[in-house]
Protein backbone atom coordinates (compact mmCIF):
# COMPACT_ATOMS: atom_id res chain seq x y z
CA UNK A 1 0.00 0.00 0.00
CA UNK A 2 2.82 2.41 0.88
CA UNK A 3 4.57 1.78 -2.45
CA UNK A 4 1.39 2.66 -4.33
CA UNK A 5 0.49 5.67 -2.20
CA UNK A 6 -2.59 3.99 -0.77
CA UNK A 7 -3.64 4.86 2.76
CA UNK A 8 -6.42 3.76 5.06
CA UNK A 9 -9.32 6.18 5.49
CA UNK A 10 -10.82 6.19 8.97
CA UNK A 11 -14.46 6.89 9.65
CA UNK A 12 -15.35 10.24 11.15
CA UNK A 13 -18.74 10.60 12.80
CA UNK A 14 -21.30 7.86 13.39
CA UNK A 15 -25.06 8.22 12.97
CA UNK A 16 -27.72 5.56 13.54
CA UNK A 17 -29.81 5.22 10.38
CA UNK A 18 -32.04 2.24 11.13
CA UNK A 19 -35.03 2.77 13.37
CA UNK A 20 -36.46 -0.74 13.72
CA UNK A 21 -38.38 0.13 16.88
CA UNK A 22 -41.74 0.68 15.19
CA UNK A 23 -45.15 -0.96 14.85
CA UNK A 24 -45.02 -1.58 11.08
CA UNK A 25 -45.06 -5.12 9.64
CA UNK A 26 -41.72 -6.85 9.01
CA UNK A 27 -41.22 -8.96 5.88
CA UNK A 28 -39.34 -12.28 5.93
CA UNK A 29 -35.74 -12.50 4.69
CA UNK A 30 -36.32 -13.92 1.19
CA UNK A 31 -32.83 -12.96 0.01
CA UNK A 32 -31.18 -15.00 2.77
CA UNK A 33 -27.72 -13.60 1.94
CA UNK A 34 -27.87 -14.86 -1.65
CA UNK A 35 -26.62 -11.73 -3.42
CA UNK A 36 -26.20 -13.40 -6.82
CA UNK A 37 -28.70 -12.68 -9.59
CA UNK A 38 -28.36 -14.24 -13.04
CA UNK A 39 -30.07 -11.31 -14.80
CA UNK A 40 -31.02 -7.68 -14.14
CA UNK A 41 -34.16 -6.85 -12.13
CA UNK A 42 -34.32 -10.14 -10.23
CA UNK A 43 -32.97 -8.79 -6.92
CA UNK A 44 -32.72 -5.23 -5.69
CA UNK A 45 -31.36 -4.06 -2.35
CA UNK A 46 -31.50 -0.69 -0.62
CA UNK A 47 -30.23 1.16 2.41
CA UNK A 48 -29.66 4.63 3.87
CA UNK A 49 -26.41 6.21 5.00
CA UNK A 50 -25.20 9.67 5.97
CA UNK A 51 -22.61 12.35 5.22
CA UNK A 52 -21.47 14.99 7.72
CA UNK A 53 -21.30 18.53 6.33
CA UNK A 54 -20.73 21.86 8.06
CA UNK A 55 -24.46 22.50 7.53
CA UNK A 56 -25.37 19.23 9.28
CA UNK A 57 -26.18 15.68 8.18
CA UNK A 58 -26.98 14.77 4.58
CA UNK A 59 -28.73 11.41 4.19
CA UNK A 60 -28.24 9.19 1.16
CA UNK A 61 -30.69 6.45 0.13
CA UNK A 62 -29.63 3.99 -2.58
CA UNK A 63 -31.10 1.04 -4.49
CA UNK A 64 -28.71 -1.44 -6.15
CA UNK A 65 -29.44 -4.10 -8.75
CA UNK A 66 -27.61 -7.13 -7.37
CA UNK A 67 -26.93 -8.55 -10.83
CA UNK A 68 -24.68 -5.67 -11.89
CA UNK A 69 -24.13 -3.87 -8.55
CA UNK A 70 -25.25 -0.70 -10.35
CA UNK A 71 -26.85 2.08 -8.34
CA UNK A 72 -30.23 2.28 -10.06
CA UNK A 73 -31.90 4.69 -7.67
CA UNK A 74 -30.64 7.24 -5.18
CA UNK A 75 -31.78 10.33 -3.33
CA UNK A 76 -30.41 12.74 -0.73
CA UNK A 77 -32.10 14.84 1.95
CA UNK A 78 -31.36 16.74 5.12
CA UNK A 79 -33.96 14.55 6.86
CA UNK A 80 -34.07 10.78 7.14
CA UNK A 81 -37.78 10.29 6.47
CA UNK A 82 -39.73 7.88 4.30
CA UNK A 83 -39.85 10.34 1.35
CA UNK A 84 -36.05 9.96 1.01
CA UNK A 85 -36.35 6.19 0.55
CA UNK A 86 -39.42 6.61 -1.68
CA UNK A 87 -37.61 9.00 -4.05
CA UNK A 88 -34.74 6.50 -4.48
CA UNK A 89 -37.25 3.70 -5.12
CA UNK A 90 -39.24 5.76 -7.65
CA UNK A 91 -36.03 6.60 -9.53
CA UNK A 92 -35.11 2.90 -9.74
CA UNK A 93 -38.60 1.93 -10.91
CA UNK A 94 -38.66 4.68 -13.56
CA UNK A 95 -35.21 3.66 -14.82
CA UNK A 96 -35.73 -0.11 -14.83
CA UNK A 97 -39.48 -0.86 -15.10
CA UNK A 98 -38.96 -4.08 -13.10
CA UNK A 99 -41.05 -7.17 -13.82
CA UNK A 100 -43.44 -8.62 -11.25
CA UNK A 101 -41.63 -10.81 -8.75
CA UNK A 102 -38.40 -8.83 -8.40
CA UNK A 103 -37.10 -9.24 -4.82
CA UNK A 104 -36.71 -5.91 -3.02
CA UNK A 105 -34.47 -6.27 0.06
CA UNK A 106 -33.77 -3.72 2.81
CA UNK A 107 -33.24 -3.55 6.53
CA UNK A 108 -36.19 -3.18 8.92
CA UNK A 109 -36.01 0.60 9.10
CA UNK A 110 -39.23 2.53 9.55
CA UNK A 111 -38.76 4.22 6.16
CA UNK A 112 -38.88 0.85 4.37
CA UNK A 113 -41.67 -0.58 6.52
CA UNK A 114 -43.90 2.49 6.17
CA UNK A 115 -47.31 2.07 4.58
CA UNK A 116 -46.41 4.47 1.73
CA UNK A 117 -43.22 2.61 0.80
CA UNK A 118 -44.89 -0.80 1.02
CA UNK A 119 -47.81 0.42 -1.10
CA UNK A 120 -45.43 1.30 -3.95
CA UNK A 121 -43.77 -2.11 -3.68
CA UNK A 122 -47.17 -3.85 -3.86
CA UNK A 123 -48.28 -1.74 -6.84
CA UNK A 124 -45.22 -2.86 -8.79
CA UNK A 125 -45.38 -6.52 -7.80
CA UNK A 126 -42.19 -6.75 -5.75
CA UNK A 127 -41.51 -9.61 -3.37
CA UNK A 128 -40.54 -7.81 -0.16
CA UNK A 129 -37.55 -9.06 1.83
CA UNK A 130 -35.99 -7.64 5.00
CA UNK A 131 -32.85 -8.34 6.98
CA UNK A 132 -32.88 -9.99 10.38
CA UNK A 133 -32.98 -7.58 13.32
CA UNK A 134 -29.67 -5.75 13.68
CA UNK A 135 -27.92 -7.99 11.14
CA UNK A 136 -25.86 -5.94 8.67
CA UNK A 137 -24.59 -9.11 6.95
CA UNK A 138 -28.09 -9.72 5.55
CA UNK A 139 -27.67 -6.59 3.41
CA UNK A 140 -23.92 -6.68 2.91
CA UNK A 141 -24.00 -5.90 -0.83
CA UNK A 142 -25.44 -2.43 -0.15
CA UNK A 143 -23.36 -2.00 3.01
CA UNK A 144 -20.30 -2.65 0.83
CA UNK A 145 -21.34 0.06 -1.63
CA UNK A 146 -21.90 2.54 1.20
CA UNK A 147 -18.49 1.76 2.70
CA UNK A 148 -16.93 2.15 -0.76
CA UNK A 149 -18.45 5.56 -1.46
CA UNK A 150 -17.37 6.74 1.98
CA UNK A 151 -13.79 5.49 1.58
CA UNK A 152 -13.38 6.67 -2.02
CA UNK A 153 -15.25 9.98 -1.75
CA UNK A 154 -16.91 11.09 1.48
CA UNK A 155 -14.08 10.64 4.01
CA UNK A 156 -11.47 12.19 1.72
CA UNK A 157 -12.50 15.77 2.44
CA UNK A 158 -14.59 18.08 4.56
CA UNK A 159 -17.92 19.09 3.09
CA UNK A 160 -18.93 22.70 3.57
CA UNK A 161 -22.52 22.38 2.34
CA UNK A 162 -25.04 19.62 1.68
CA UNK A 163 -25.27 20.78 -1.94
CA UNK A 164 -21.51 20.38 -2.39
CA UNK A 165 -21.71 16.79 -1.10
CA UNK A 166 -24.78 16.05 -3.25
CA UNK A 167 -23.03 17.19 -6.45
CA UNK A 168 -19.96 15.08 -5.58
CA UNK A 169 -22.15 12.03 -4.90
CA UNK A 170 -23.92 12.51 -8.26
CA UNK A 171 -20.58 12.69 -10.09
CA UNK A 172 -19.23 9.66 -8.22
CA UNK A 173 -22.26 7.45 -8.94
CA UNK A 174 -22.91 8.51 -12.55
CA UNK A 175 -19.36 9.37 -13.60
CA UNK A 176 -17.33 6.66 -11.91
CA UNK A 177 -19.10 3.96 -9.89
CA UNK A 178 -21.74 2.90 -12.43
CA UNK A 179 -19.78 3.26 -15.67
CA UNK A 180 -16.19 2.45 -14.70
CA UNK A 181 -15.53 1.04 -11.24
CA UNK A 182 -14.62 -2.65 -11.24
CA UNK A 183 -16.16 -5.02 -8.67
CA UNK A 184 -14.82 -8.21 -7.15
CA UNK A 185 -18.40 -9.58 -7.12
CA UNK A 186 -18.44 -9.19 -10.93
CA UNK A 187 -15.07 -10.85 -11.54
CA UNK A 188 -13.39 -7.42 -11.57
CA UNK A 189 -15.58 -6.09 -14.38
CA UNK A 190 -17.44 -2.80 -14.33
CA UNK A 191 -21.25 -2.67 -14.04
CA UNK A 192 -21.47 -1.44 -17.64
CA UNK A 193 -20.56 -4.97 -18.78
CA UNK A 194 -23.78 -6.20 -17.15
CATH number of the domain residue 85 falls in: 3.30.420.10
Q: What is the pLDDT of residue 132?
A: 82
- Gyration radius of the chain over CA positions: 16
pLDDT of residue 13: 54
Tally Cβ neighbours within 10 Å of residue 66: 22
The answer to the question of residue 4 being in a domain is: no
- Cα separation, 101 vs 107, whole angstroms: 19
3-state class of 128 per DSSP?
strand
Q: Is residue 134 part of a domain?
A: yes
> pLDDT value at position 14?
47
Residue 40 has pLDDT above 60, yes or no: yes
**156 occurs within a structural domain:** yes
CB 103 within 8 A of CB 127: yes
Domain range for residue 81?
43-180
User: 5: helix, coil or strand?
Assistant: coil
Residue 21 lies in a domain: no
Considering the domain boundaries, does residue 75 fall inside one? Answer: yes
Domain-located, residue 53: yes
Query: What is the predicted pLDDT for the residue at 134?
Result: 72
CA 170 vs CA 97, 118, 174: distances in Å: 22, 27, 6
pLDDT digits (tens, 9 = 90+) for 95-148: 999 999 999 999 998 899 999 999 999 999 999 999 887 777 889 999 999 999
Report if residue 148 sits inside a domain.
Answer: yes
Q: Is the distance from CB of 98 to CB of 123 less than 8 angstroms?
A: no
Domain count of the chain?
Answer: 1
Q: What is the pLDDT of residue 52?
A: 95
The answer to whether position 14 is within a domain reads no
Of 84 and 16, the structure prediction assigns the larger pLDDT to 84
Amino acid sequence: MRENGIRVERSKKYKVTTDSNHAFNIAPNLLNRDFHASAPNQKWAGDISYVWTREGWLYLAVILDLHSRRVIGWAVSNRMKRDLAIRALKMAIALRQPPQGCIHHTDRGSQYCSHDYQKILRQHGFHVSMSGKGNCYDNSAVETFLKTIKAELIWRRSWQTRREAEVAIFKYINGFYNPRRRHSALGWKSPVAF
